């Protein structure tokens, strides 16, 4: 911009010189009248103005972003180099794949600090937070052996009671904007105290009972003081702080180190060719619309993506035996369809069984169910046809070919999901037989 300022000073100075020159030199020499002087000055001035406009244009182009001016000078690509030309198909708009951030986001009022995460780790493993003293968060969320889940169809709580829902992994829960299968909690802080008083989980009569136990332990009092300081009443142990410490610890449970992450960060040897084919299918079949973004869940996105979806979205023959509609999640009672939070698919190969009721053991079967119910594909050689009756504005019917995917496509998709497993779970019980568990 300094060029512009300088330019305008020069223009004003030249205009003044011109005016002086006309008035005192040219006019007396040519014997011009007052009006003639103005005409001469204006004519010469117009030339000056045109020159200034050219200068301005040069300055403006030199400041403009490269693409505006130089685009046409780029070498034209060989046609056959460009994706899709050979087959005559326009390349589709491509998804930009991204790795998981190396640090989980935290709310302004609960920054992640070492003292807090250390306290949270201890609380997470402490069985004295349960009524019977034999169940900790880690009993159901086995961080190493079961990749943050429990390997059971549904959870096992105090007095060996069976819960209704499958235990999701806590790994990468830190990225979810919605927690639980039905997404009823909006933050880890909000979620953390739920299990302690859930009668089927840790069974405490109320949170205060848990707080009294912790406050009676001098070690805990000291650890809470170290993490939070004392509050106004001089009491270091409170329910809010218990939730904050558990949440802070859970924010350290992230896995940005899967082969997929290494691949998107530039190591092209991190995925097998089958996995890369699965990656293209994950995009082209439409899994990516729901399992979107680096955590493979639209419920992790802050861009207004819908975090919840109907599931099963279409009736599919043979699914009734899985009882997937016994529990309707966040749908209102009496609905014909359940509505669920879209889960993350990170480490999914080592967190069988699948779905909210843990009814499917095998990952490839889960993928096949997704392709059929959520996307309307048929598996095999014959494309499926969707017939949708409509009554508005007048009766009519839509007939669409939804397409088919093959068994080898399912293998490729499953192989791609295996690339989302962190190497830290390579020694865990299930990794040698993903999905094949009692």
Asked if 354 interacts with ligand HEC (CB under 6 A), we say yes
- The answer to whether the beta carbons of residues 168 and 149 sit under 8 Å apart is yes
Q: How far is the CB of 184 from ligand HEC (least distance, A)?
A: 7
Q: How far is the CB of 140 from ligand HEC (least distance, A)?
A: 3
Evaluate the omega torsion of the peptide bond into residue 388 and state whether it is cis, within 30 degrees of 0: no
Minimum CB distance to ligand HEC smaller for 116 or for 291: 291
Minimum CB distance to ligand HEC smaller for 25 or for 323: 323
Site for ligand HEC in 364-383 (CB under 6 A): 366-367, 370-371, 374-375
Q: Site for ligand HEC (CB under 6 A): which residue of 157, 236, 256, 435?
A: 157
Minimum CB distance to ligand HEC smaller for 55 or for 379: 379
Q: How far is the CB of 360 from ligand HEC (least distance, A)?
A: 8
Minimum CB distance to ligand HEC smaller for 27 or for 363: 363
Q: Which of 189, 201, 250, 418 is catalytic?
A: 201
Site for ligand HEC in 97-156 (CB under 6 A): 135, 137, 139-141, 155
**Of 197, 122, 137, 130, the residue nearest 167 (C-alpha):** 137
Q: Residues touching ligand HEC: how many (CB under 6 A)? A: 52
Q: How far is the CB of 328 from ligand HEC (least distance, A)?
A: 10
Q: Site for ligand HEC (CB under 6 A): which residue of 204, 248, 292, 342?
A: 342
Asked if 195 interacts with ligand HEC (CB under 6 A), we say yes
3-state percent helix, strand, coil for the chain, nearest multiple of 5? 45, 10, 45
Q: Site for ligand HEC (CB under 6 A): which residue of 100, 147, 192, 350?
A: 192
Minimum CB distance to ligand HEC smaller for 231 or for 284: 284
Give the count of alpha carbons within 13 A of 289, CB side only.
8
**Of 208, 243, 300, 301, the residue nearest 110 (C-alpha):** 243
What strands, in cross-sheet order, belong to the sheet with 384-390?
A: 378-379, 396-405, 384-390
Q: How far is the CB of 183 from ligand HEC (least distance, A)?
A: 8
114-124 helix and 239-250 helix, angle to the nearest 10 degrees: 100
Minimum CB distance to ligand HEC smaller for 40 or for 244: 244
Neighbours of 64 (CB within 10 A): 11
Q: What is the DSSP secondary structure assignment for residue 25, as one 8-state letter?
A: I
- The answer to whether the beta carbons of residues 397 and 273 sit under 8 Å apart is no
Q: How far is the CB of 201 from ligand HEC (least distance, A)?
A: 4
Minimum CB distance to ligand HEC smaller for 182 or for 418: 182
Neighbours of 191 (CB within 10 A): 20
Gap between the Cα atoms of 397 and 274, Å rounded: 39
Site for ligand HEC in 251-310 (CB under 6 A): 285-287, 289-291, 309
Gap between the Cα atoms of 334 and 23, Å rounded: 94
Q: Which residues on adjacent β-strands are paired with residue 404?
A: 378
Asked if 346 interacts with ligand HEC (CB under 6 A), we say no
- How distant, in Å, are the alpha carbons of 24, 36, 40, 128 from that of 28? 6, 11, 12, 107
Q: Is 88 exposed, middle or buried (0-12, 13-18, 19+ CB in 10 A)?
A: exposed
Judged by DSSP in three states, 122 sits in helix
Minimum CB distance to ligand HEC smaller for 215 or for 313: 313
Site for ligand HEC in 37-96 (CB under 6 A): none
Q: How far is the CB of 377 from ligand HEC (least distance, A)?
A: 8
Q: How far is the CB of 386 from ligand HEC (least distance, A)?
A: 14
- The answer to whether the beta carbons of residues 312 and 319 sit under 8 Å apart is yes
Evaluate the omega torsion of the peptide bond into residue 353 and state whether it is cis, within 30 degrees of 0: yes
Asked if 173 interacts with ligand HEC (CB under 6 A), we say yes
207-215 helix and 239-250 helix, angle to the nearest 10 degrees: 90
Q: Site for ligand HEC (CB under 6 A): which residue of 104, 196, 223, 245?
A: 196
Near ligand HEC by CB under 6 A, which window of 174-182, 215-223, 268-276, 424-432?
174-182
Gap between the Cα atoms of 288 and 198, Å rounded: 34
- Does 235 qualify as catalytic in the annotation? no
Query: Which residues contribute to the site for ligand HEC (CB under 6 A)?
Result: 135, 137, 139-141, 155, 157, 163, 165, 167-168, 170, 173, 176, 179-182, 188, 191-192, 195-196, 201-202, 246, 250, 285-287, 289-291, 309, 311, 313, 340, 342-343, 345, 348, 351, 354-356, 366-367, 370-371, 374-375, 413
Could you list the active site residues? 201
């Amino acid at each position: 911009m300094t060029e512009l300022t300088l330019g305008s000073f020069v223009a004003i100075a030249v205009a003044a010189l011109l005016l002086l020159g006309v008035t005192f030199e040219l006019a007396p020499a040519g014997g011009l009248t007052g009006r003639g002087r103005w005409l001469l000055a204006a004519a010469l001035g117009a030339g000056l103005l045109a020159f200034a406009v050219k200068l301005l244009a040069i300055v403006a182009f030199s400041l403009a972003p490269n693409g505006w001016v130089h685009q046409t000078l780029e070498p034209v690509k060989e046609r056959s180099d460009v994706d899709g030309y050979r087959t005559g198909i326009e390349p589709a708009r491509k998804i930009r794949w991204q790795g998981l951030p190396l640090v989980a986001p935290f709310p302004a009022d609960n920054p992640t600090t070492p003292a807090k995460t250390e306290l949270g780790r201890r609380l997470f493993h402490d069985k004295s937070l349960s009524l019977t003293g034999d169940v900790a968060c880690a009993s159901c969320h086995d961080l190493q052996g079961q990749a943050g889940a429990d390997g059971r169809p549904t959870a096992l709580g105090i007095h060996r009671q069976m819960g209704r829902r499958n235990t999701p992994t806590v790994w990468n829960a830190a990225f979810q904007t919605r927690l639980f299968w039905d997404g009823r909690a909006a933050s880890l802080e909000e979620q953390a105290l739920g299990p302690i008083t859930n009668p089927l989980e840790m069974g405490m009569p109320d949170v205060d009972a848990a707080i009294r136990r912790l406050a009676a332990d001098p070690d805990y009092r000291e650890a809470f003081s170290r993490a939070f300081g004392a509050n106004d009443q001089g009491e270091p142990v409170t329910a809010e702080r218990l939730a904050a410490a558990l949440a802070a610890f859970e924010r350290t449970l992230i896995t940005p180190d899967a082969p997929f992450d290494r691949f998107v960060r530039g190591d092209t040897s991190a995925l097998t060719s089958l996995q890369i084919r699965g990656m293209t299918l994950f995009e082209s079949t439409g899994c990516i619309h729901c399992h979107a973004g680096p955590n493979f869940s639209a419920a992790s996105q802050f861009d207004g993506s819908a975090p919840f979806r109907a599931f099963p979205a279409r009736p599919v023959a043979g699914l009734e035996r899985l009882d997937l509609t016994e529990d309707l999640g966040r749908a209102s009672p009496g609905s014909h369809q359940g509505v669920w939070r879209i889960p993350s698919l990170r480490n999914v190969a080592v967190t069988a069984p699948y779905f909210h009721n843990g009814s499917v053991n095998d990952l490839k079967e889960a993928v096949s169910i997704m392709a059929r119910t959520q996307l309307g594909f048929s598996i095999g050689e014959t494309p499926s046809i969707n017939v949708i009756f409509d009554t508005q504005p007048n009766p009519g019917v839509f007939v669409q070919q939804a397409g088919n995917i093959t068994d080898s496509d399912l293998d490729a998709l499953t192989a791609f999901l295996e690339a989302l497993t962190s190497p830290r779970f390579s020694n865990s019980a299930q990794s040698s037989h993903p999905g094949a568990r009692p």
